[in-house]
Structure formats: C-alpha cells, structure tokens
Structure 1
Amino acid sequence: MAGEVHAMWQKRQQGEFKGVDGVPIRWISIREPQNERCVVMVNGRNESFWKYQELFYEFSRKGYDVYAYDHRGQGASGRLTNDSELGHVICFDDYVTDLHTFIENVVNKDAYKHRFLLAHSMGGAVATLYLEHYQTPFNAVVLNAPMFGINMPAPLKLVASSIAKIMEHYQSQPSYVLGKKPYREEPFEANDQCQSQLRYGWAKHLYQLHPELRLGGPSPRWVWQALAAAKHCIRDVEHIDTPVLLLQAGDDKVVDNHSHVIFCTKCTECEMKVIPHARHELLMEKDCLRNQALKDTLEFFESYS
C-alpha cells in the first residue's frame, strides 16, 4: 500500500459536481491513455473511495480506467446535517440521481469500448435502482453483497420501518436511530465486516488520518428510506436488461441474503455466486476469499468485453 498503490493514488484525478439540492459530490478517477474500458465503483454506507485504493490498483493493472465517487452525506462529499458523523438522507432516490449525474457528466465524457459497474452493499441498491430507471451505458454489472434487505430478526422486519418513522417524528432535528452513535472504532475481534486484520486495520488507520471521512450510525429517516429502497429493487427488477453477477457473502450478518435469492429468481439477467465463509465486505476480506470475489468479477467483465 505504501509502494505501488500509493504511487498510483498520487496520480489520481479528482473533481466535484453538484448533486441533488446542490450537495457537493466528490469523485476521483485513475486513467491511462491506452485504456479502452472502464469500471465505475459505487461504494456502500460509511465508505469512501479512499478505502478502495488496493482494488483500484488491481483494476488499473488489468487495463481498466477507474471512476469512483462518495455518496452525499458521507466520505469526502458534502454533509446533510450539522452532525458530520450522522448517516442521513432526505430521499434515497437522491443517491440514484447523483449516480446518474456522475455517469452522464464525468464518466461518459471519455469514449470507451466497454463500461462496467461494480457496487457494494448500499451502493448495490443504488446501482440496481439506477439500472431499473435509466438507460445504462454499461455492458455488465457486479453487485457485491447488495442491500436488498437488512439483516434483522423476522419480527422486527415487520415493524422496523414504522418504528423508524415514529422516531423521526419525535426528533426535532435529524439524529441517530435508537442504539446508534457517532463514529467509534471497534476492535478487529468485534467486527462482523471482514476477516482480514491487515485490511481492517488499514481502513481504520485511514479514518485516523482523515477524520473528515468518518461516519457513525444512521438516522431514522435513513433507515426507513433504505428499507423502502431495498423493496423497490426487487419490485422493479423486470426493468433490468443489463447482465448482472450477484456475489453473496456466505456469512453476511449485515444484509439479508435471502433477498438475493428472491432478486435473482425474478431477474432474468442475474447470475448469483456464493462465496462461502465470507463476511459482508468481500473486497476487504482475507486473501483466499477476496481473491475469489475479484476473480469472479474480472471473469464476468471479461466475458462481456
């Protein structure tokens, strides 16, 4: 990370555009003149393009230009509340509109023979809604552990959205949903995201170096907006006409894996692969699991190049 990856990162291009309601959305790209294909990365909640430098390096070495941006309200992009660590959104569709704007105004400025989309977790829901509502320039899409449902006890699923709406009603201004707090660094042993201590430690060190990237728990509004968006991903699946590979983490404790099965059953363009024993952050996992996710992704993209 301190050698070739860092050297690549120093050569990145970066910029900013105005998202919905004028929120500044910051982006980066890593480009080489000879490349004829690109991949657009759509990250998850509480993430930033800073986190995926290793991945971008690997794609760049394979001949892909890389584009990535940070969602409104997190990472390097503009915040929506006075509390910079509160995960909040007014409308989930704003994420989708921002992605469309990024593709139209930044990515599509360069001519490529092939374009690919890679999305993780919440970004998987954003990317899916984008595919369902816009004409897409992408040849193929890979969704890593997409948020088509949030993992929670079955009885809570029935009332979670209603409870979140009630909590929002009683908050004079946006604040954390019950039980969630500002950013707090959890020890590796307590995390349910990945099993690579090196990558986990590197990501946490990144937040120490750049505290402005930190994000804590979500607001009640984010919760019910996200739950509604996840349902809409499955409801409108018949509008997808782009080949999709869904990579599921076998030991995911964050998103609802059963929702992936429902999605792929309804989506004629979807192929699903399960990576056994992997946790939610497939691209931050230990090598034996992460390598499989990366291999499946690259092979899928190559089959549509």
Structure 2
Amino acid sequence: MMLDAPFHGALAEGPEGARAFWLETADNLRVRVAHYPGPADAAGTVLLFPGRTEYVEKYGRVAKDLAGHGYHTLTIDWRGQGLADRMHTDPRAGHVTLFRDYQFDVDAMVAAARDLDLPQPFYLLAHSMGGCIALRSLVRGLDVRAAAFTGPMWGIRMAVPLRPAAWALGWGSARIGMGHVYAPTTGPESYVASAPFAGNLLTTDRDGWDYMRRQVVEVPELQLGGPSLRWVHQALAECATLARIPSPDVPGIAFVGENERIVDVPRIMRRMAAWPGGKLEIVGGGEHEVLMDGPPARRRVIAAMTAFFAAAGSPQGAAADRPSRSGLVCPAH
C-alpha cells in the first residue's frame, strides 16, 4: 500500500498535480517516490533515476519539460538520501551497505509505477550514480523501451595514483567497522548549500544553481554530505563489475558535459561505442549536470532525448538508430 508522503511542490516547480508517496522495499526500508503527471494522451512514462545526494523535488523542472513532450515522470529518493530512510546514525553521510541494495528501491519504484497505472511504455532517464544503478537494473531485465543517461557514473574520476588508496581505505575501513567514516576531503556539508557558484562542478547556469541551493536550504532534511568510505568502495566495485558486462540490448543515449569533472568520461565513451543502438552526445560547455543548465540547453537535451525515445518506439526508427553513434555537440548556452 502506498501512503502519501511530504512533497515540496513550490520548490520543485514541476507540473501541476504532482504527488509523492512512501514505499516499503523488500528489505524493509522506506523510500519516497514522486509522480509528475504528463498529458492525458501521454506517450509513456519516464522512470527517472537521480544521482547521489539528490531527491524528487530536484527534477521538477525536468519533469515539466518531459510533460511538454508527452511523458509522465516517476522519480525516487534512493535509500540514504532525500526523505528516504538514512543508512547511518549520521544522516548526512552518503552511505550504503551494498551497492546492489539500490535494486530493492528500483523494484519498489517499478511496482509503484504499475500500481499507479502510469502510461506505458516505460522509458529510463538516469543521472550520475543513477546511471550506475540503471545499468545494473537493465542487466537484470528492467523493462523499458529505451534508456537515456546524463553524466552516468560508470567510473569515478580520480587521479590514477589515488585509486589503490581508495580501494584500500574502503576495504580496510569496512573490516574494522569504520566504513561509515567520510571519504577524505569530504564531510557533512552539502556541496550545493556550502560551495560558491563560481567554479562549481555541476552547472554553468546561475539560476539552475540557485534552484538547487534554494531547495536544500529551505528544506535542510534534503541535504546530504560526502560519501562514506563504504560507499566509495562499493561504488568502485560496482563500476568495475559492470565494466566487464556487455551493454544491454536496449536502445541507449548518453549526454556528457564537455567540461565533465566528476565521472570517468573515457569509460562512458567506451561503453556507448559498444552499446547496441547507442548514441553519445557531448554538451558543449556543459558540466556534470546538463539537466540543471539554462533552459535553452536543458530543452535541447530533453528534445534530443525524447526524439530518441520516440524513435525507439517506432520499428523503423529503432532499426535505423541501432548501429549509430552521434558526435553532436549541443551548445550549453
């Protein structure tokens, strides 16, 4: 049974009539989903997988754009973030026991989409950490017509000499019961709430930055700090495991900012080059969060994404798209 959950609609700026619900996962945690309605004659529903630190209100503007293209949106607060159950006594620590545990959240979300009788077919949009979770879900057989990714976390950008230290710290900390400790250089502060706009790693758009900051400042419960050592170890392990698995036979498109500085871009390029029906688009001037850039850039990305979705829904279009890889550059401004 789904129960109504708190939802900050004014801060989300999404389509009218949006609602949030509590869900219980198979391992007895409480997560939150939000349904952003689309038109009555919808082309389908986008299952939106957010990134680390994110929450359902953050994608209100994106959902409004998707509704304009004919789609409902269902998105989620993953375990350990947003208003979902936090995974440690320190609620600011970005922590998870096993990375595959996020699949419990995915299963609950998909069940909710069906219980709400949302329009089918389902499509997938996944950002950053959500891209890693999504790839695992697709390998498990998630039933979507097509998948889109923005800055997918199929690898974490870090200096090569630091990788052995990151693995060792994560593995060793878990063995001595210190896996919840923050990763080096991070702490309980929310990046968006505490960092200046100038030089930030997420967006080039001041209004997009203020939109994100306003949400976490006005609702501090949405804030999340740095990742725990356990999370880092689990994320690296999951990325390494997925790198050895072939891409699923689902049409996929990925968007990467030209100035991406958080995730491993070469891994994205290798994955998309080998993806059946895959396309890679570089967003000129973009940072990690191309969907939090200015309205013109965001709408161009959404337009390209929904055109890809529409082509995947057409036997002729899907067949034409399958072997291609795009070098399109979308200007950020």
Settle same-fold status: TM greater than 0.5.
yes
Task: Give the aligned partner of residue 207 of structure 1.
Answer: 216
Query: Which structure has greater helix proportion?
Result: 1
Aligned-partner SS, 1:189: coil
- 1:83-94 matches, cutoff 5 A: 83-94=90-101
Q: Displacement of 1:296 after TM fit? A: 1.6
Q: Does 1:197 align with 2:203?
A: no
| Alignment match, 1:254 | 262
Q: 1:269 Cα deviation (Å)? A: 3.3
Supply the distance in 2 between the matched residues of 1:268 and 1:107 (Cα, whole angstroms): 27
Q: Which residue of 2 aligns with 1:242?
A: 250
Identity across the alignment (%)? 25
Residues in 2 aligned to 1:14 and 1:5: alpha-carbon distance in whole angstroms: 12
Equivalent residues of 2:23, 2:31 under 8 A apart:
yes
**Matching residue of 1:151:** 157
C-alpha contact 2:27 2:104 (8 A) present in aligned 1: no
Rounded to whole Å, the distance in 2 between the matches of 1:85 and 1:227 is 21
Distance 1:242 1:278 in 2: 26
Pair 1:76-2:83 in alignment = yes
Counterpart in the other structure of 2:230: 221
Q: Distance in 1 between matches of 2:53 and 2:257?
A: 19
State the Cα distance separating 1:295 from its structure 2 match.
2.2
Contact 2:51 2:127 in 1 (8 A): yes
- The alignment status of 1:142 with 2:148, answered yes or no, reads yes
TM-score normalized by the length of structure 1: 0.91
1:25 correspondence with 2:31: yes
Q: What is the aligned counterpart of 1:183 among 170, 186, 189?
A: 189
Give the 5 Å matches for 1:97-176.
Answer: 97-103=104-110, 105-109=111-115, 110=117, 112-134=119-141, 136-172=142-178, 174-176=180-182
CA distance in structure 2 between the aligned counterparts of 1:64 and 1:73, rounded to whole angstroms: 28
Query: Secondary structure in 2 aligned to 1:52?
Result: helix
Partner residue, 2:64:
57
What are structure 2's unaligned runs of at least 5 residues? 1-8, 314-333
Q: Which amino acid aligns with 1:146?
A: P
Q: 1:5 to 1:49 in 2, by over 3 A?
A: closer
Contact 2:170 2:230 in 1 (8 A): yes
Aligned residue in 1 for 2:321:
none
> Match of 1:291?
299
Please list the CA deviations of residues 195-252 of structure 1 after superposition, one character each: whole Å capped at 9, or x if unmatched.
11111012111111111100000100000100111122221124x1110001121211
Aligned-residue offset at 1:33: 4.1
Change (3 A) 1:66 1:168: same
Q: What 5-or-longer segments of structure 1 have no aligned partner?
A: none
Residue 268 of structure 1 corresponds to which residue in structure 2? 276
Question: Could you say which residue in structure 1 is the equivalent of 2:22?
Answer: 16
Residue 161 of structure 2 aligns with an amino acid whose one-letter code is: P
Output the CA distance in 2 between the equivalents of 1:4 and 1:198: 13
Higher relative contact order (CA 8 A, sep 6+): 1
Instruction: Tell me how far 1:287 sits from its aligned partner.
Output: 3.8
The superposition leaves residues 64-120 of structure 1 with CA deviations (integer Å, 9 ceiling, x where unpaired) of: 1111111000012110111111000000001123112311x1112326342211000
Is the contact between residue 89 and residue 222 of structure 1 (CA under 8 Å) also seen in structure 2? Answer: yes
Aligned partners of 1:164 and 1:248: how far apart in 2? 28
Partners of 1:118 and 1:6 in 2: CA distance: 19
Specify the code of the residue in structure 1 equivalent to 2:49.
Answer: V
Provide the secondary structure at the position in 2 that maps to 1:8: coil
Q: What letter corresponds to residue 223 of structure 1 in structure 2?
A: V
Q: Structure 1, residues 4-47: CA drift from partner, whole Å, max 9, x if none?
A: 974735x2122111125311011110235442411111000011
